[in-house]
Amino acid sequence: MYKFNFLSKINQEKYEAKKRDNFIKLLFLCFSSAMILLLGLLYLFGLSVNTDNKIAKENRQEINDKIKKLRSEDFFDNKLSQNIYNSMMKRKKISDVFSAFESSMDSTVIISDFLYDLDYMEVTFISRSSNVKSQLMSWIVAFKDNVEERMIQMGICEKNNLKLAKGPDIKKQFSDFTYWVFVLDLEFPKKNSNLSRGKK
Amino acid sequence: MANDPSRESKSIGRNIFAENQADFFKNKSEKKSQDNTSKKSDTSPKSIGRNIFSEVPNAQVPPARPADIGEDLKIIEKTSKDTSSNKSASVSASSKKSRVNALHLTKDNVVFAQTEYDGINYRLTNLQVIPIEPPQITEDNVFKDKKDPEQLIKEQQIDAIDKVFVRAGVAKNDPLIVTSLNGTNVIVKQLYVQNTPVENIEKELPSIVKSPFDVMSRYEYILLNSDGMNHDILAAVSDGSTFFSVQGMLTLTGVECKILDIDKMAIVNLYNESVRPPKGTVSCVIDIGMDFSHIMIIPSGSEELYIRNIDFTYNTFKKTLQRNRDISPAETEEMIRDRNFYDYITSAFEQETTENLNQHFSVKKYVRMHLLRELQKTFQYYAQQNQNKIPSKIYITGKALEMNKFAQFINKNTDIPCENLDIAGFFRGDSSVLDYAKEKESVAYVAIGLALRYE
């Protein structure tokens, strides 16, 4: 049986082309499927993130409650811990107070004395100013307001808590070597006092 | 008398075409005896002439069936009826069947054949022949119809293709549709290729077989024998235009044909399937087509398969005869069909006068030059190439089957037994399909050959 086929090459080429097309189609389908799968997974993952967020919120609340409970009940059972905590909180407050003062002070003013209590603070300043007395008073009031504002921002004091306990002695004679003394006092607000929180 | 050697040398068939040996003038008794001889040989299997080539096996020359070309189609549908009584074959047939649809396109016919192969036998399940009949040019329409006749034929072919597929109930994208490249611009040649790996044969084919056609020539080959580096191949080269015209026609009609064979090879396969020649025999098939004819020498052993195109075609012969006898085309066809080929080619020269001989010379010359001499040349060439082997039998097919006593004529002129190639007898299947195949054997043979391609 003699069997010629003049279309064998064309058939072969067609077959190859079809195979190639099928391969490309398969590749495209695989890629598309993978992409769809990935998108689906991402969507599901997104859904699970929301769920986790709720859980996380609940967990945070739980943790906060536990911390509160720990601090209020168990943590301060040990006296040493309490002392350390108090001193740390105190140190923090003093440094905050100083930073509030220092940010408002200029080169003509220095702190002369600093009395510090858990509830009360008294700071004595000495100013060596060549201004006239009225200008000096204005500057001191402005200084006090600045410090107060700063402290309010820091949460150390409340409005009108910082007071000028003692103003400069305006009866003194003005000269180049005169020092003017004034005192600011502050009663720490109860709610900002960490120390009070630590007290049983 | 048929075996008388002294008569053999005076065989009319041979002498009339032999160079300078035409014995035109014989007495009546001789003529009668020759007539008787020819009549006897119509029915007798024995050859009258001396067989110069080989032993003469018994050959039965079946009477040529007149084929009615103008007759409209007879639609033969596939039936489930099986005429064969071979049960074992039937059992195997049910288990494994392969169906092949073949389409053969010519300018004169569109033929569709469908076969089924059950692993042992072929069944012819469907055969359809649609003749292409371009409008005849008459005085009335010669100036009116401006359409190109080629275009008209093409349109009719397209319609016919559509019809056969619809009638056969076969989809045009059936995976097993076979059609063929036809004509002389397809060369088939057996070659011996040395020192070439099998995978390189295809690449080197254009350098091995020099194409006489354009650069678009198409090459194909079949591996016949191979020892790894040396191969016997059957190479085929087709003209690009022939290839692309067939492909264009298939595209136009929407037929998704995947197999494109060669008409000549279909005839070779048909011969092998029909005759089933014993090993070692060499036979010849003379295929006379409407426009293309071939002489094929087909071995069933190791000899070379040789195919030669010849110029003796049915159409040209008809025209020559028509012109010579000054008769109408219909009368010419009738004459070819009904009158003894041998008689009207040969006897005229014996019975008529010199004047008549001269009158009939053109037909005689045409047959002699384009058929007999080509046959002789082919046999000589083949014998030279294949250790003096020549065909032991000649089969005729195609339009030659419509030429009355053509086989006898060939037999007389070659001294080789000659008979018609049976194209339907070896099939199993519905007798109506087989009868129709027998009726249309002169046009359906290539399509049937193409359908003998079990896969």
pTM assigned to the model: 0.62
Report CB contact under 8 Å: A1, B272: yes
* Closest by CA position to A131, among listed A90, A76, A97, A180: A180
- Give the list of residues 6+ apart from residue B77 with CB closer than 8 angstroms, or none: B126
- Lookup: tokens for B417: 């037994």
Could you read off the pLDDT tens digit of each residue along chain B, which spans 455 residues? 333 333 333 333 343 333 333 333 333 334 334 444 443 333 333 333 333 333 333 333 333 333 333 333 333 333 333 333 333 333 333 445 678 999 999 989 999 999 998 888 889 999 999 999 877 766 666 666 567 778 888 889 999 999 999 999 999 988 888 899 998 889 998 888 998 898 889 888 888 888 888 888 999 999 988 888 899 999 999 999 999 999 999 999 999 998 999 999 999 999 999 999 998 899 999 999 999 999 999 998 888 899 999 999 999 999 998 888 888 989 999 988 888 877 767 665 555 566 556 667 788 888 888 999 999 999 999 999 888 888 999 999 999 999 988 998 899 888 999 999 999 999 988 889 999 999 999 999 999 999 998 75
pLDDT at B21: 38
- Judging contacts by C-beta atoms under 8 Å, the chain B residues touching residue A6 are 181, 218, 220, 236, 238, 243, 260-262
Which three-class secondary structure state does DSSP give residue A23? helix
CA dihedral for B363, B365, B368, B370, sign (positive or negative): negative
Is the CATH code 3.30.420.40 the one for domain B5-64+278-420? yes
CA dihedral for B249, B251, B254, B258, sign (positive or negative): positive
Work out how many CB contacts closer than 8 A connect A with B: 43
Query: Half-sphere exposure of B335 toward its Cβ, with a 13 Å CA cutoff?
Result: 20
Kind plus residue range of the DSSP H or E element containing A119: none
What is the tens place of the pLDDT at every residue in A73-98? 766 666 677 777 777 776 667 788 88
Q: Which CATH number fits domain A93-198: 1.10.3470, 3.30.70, 1.20.1640, 1.10.1740?
A: 3.30.70
Report CB contact under 8 Å: A5, B269: no
C-alpha B450: how far from its chain's center?
Answer: 13
- Judging contacts by C-beta atoms under 8 Å, the chain B residues touching residue A11 are 258
What is the tens place of the pLDDT at every residue in A34-80? 999 999 999 888 777 666 777 888 889 999 988 888 777 766 666 67
Could you identify the residue written with the tokens 């607000």? Answer: A189
pLDDT of A170 higher than 90: no
pLDDT at B12: 35
- Judging contacts by C-beta atoms under 8 Å, the chain A residues touching residue B220 are 4-6, 8
* Closest by CA position to B18, among listed B358, B416, B413, B415: B413
* Closest by CA position to A166, among listed A122, A118, A131: A122
Measured CA distances, A152 to A43, A110, A146, B36 (Å): 47, 22, 10, 148
B428, B84 contact by CB (below 8 A) = yes
pLDDT at B89: 37
Measured CA distances, B252 to B149, B158, B178 (Å): 18, 8, 16
Kind plus residue range of the DSSP H or E element containing A19: helix A8-69
Contacting A with CB below 8 Å, chain B residues are 181, 218, 220, 222, 234, 236, 238, 243, 257-262, 265, 268-269, 272, 305, 452-454
The beta-carbon neighbor of B265 closest among A4, A8, A11 is A4
Is the CATH code 3.30.420.40 the one for domain B87-180+240-273+425-450? yes
- Lookup: tokens for B108: 């004169």
Average pLDDT over residues A134-157: 86
The beta-carbon contacts of A140-148 under 8 Å, at least 24 apart in sequence, are A140/A164, A140/A167, A140/A168, A140/A182, A143/A104, A143/A105, A143/A109, A144/A184, A146/A103, A146/A104, A147/A100, A147/A101, A147/A104, A147/A184
Name the residue of chain B whose CA is nearest to A15's CA: B258
- Judging contacts by C-beta atoms under 8 Å, the chain A residues touching residue B256 are none
A183, A144 contact by CB (below 8 A) = no
As for the ipTM of the complex, it is 0.71
The Cα A99–Cα A116 span in angstroms is 15
The pair phi, psi for residue B381, each rounded to 5°, is -60, -45
pLDDT at A160: 83
Report CB contact under 8 Å: B261, A1: no
Which three-class secondary structure state does DSSP give residue A21? helix
The pair phi, psi for residue B19, each rounded to 5°, is -60, 125
A71-109 as b/e: b if 16+ CB within 10 A: eeeeebeeeeeeeebbeebeeebeeebeebbeebbeeeb
- Give the list of residues 6+ apart from residue B73 with CB closer than 8 angstroms, or none: B128, B129, B130
Report CB contact under 8 Å: A3, B222: yes
Name the residue of chain B whose CA is nearest to A12's CA: B258
Q: Is A120 left (phi over 0), alpha (psi -120 to 50) or beta?
A: beta
The Cα B224–Cα B359 span in angstroms is 50
Report CB contact under 8 Å: B222, A8: no
* Closest by CA position to A156, among listed A112, A113, A200, A123: A123
| ∠ Cα B284 B288 B293 (to 5°) | 85
Beta strands, E only, chain A: 109-116, 120-127, 162-166, 180-187
Q: How many CB atoms lie within 10 A of CB A45?
A: 10
pLDDT at B325: 83
- Lookup: tokens for A44: 């599901």
* Closest by CA position to A166, among listed A112, A116, A119, A104: A112
Rounded to the nearest angstrom, the minimum Cα separation between A32 and chain B is 32
- Give the list of residues 6+ apart from residue B183 with CB closer than 8 angstroms, or none: B242, B263, B291, B292
Name the residue of chain A whose CA is nearest to B264's CA: A2
Kind plus residue range of the DSSP H or E element containing A11: helix A8-69
Q: Identify from B203, B239, B259 which residue to disrupt to test chain A contact, counting A C-beta atoms within 10 A and taking the largest count.
A: B259
pLDDT at A107: 84
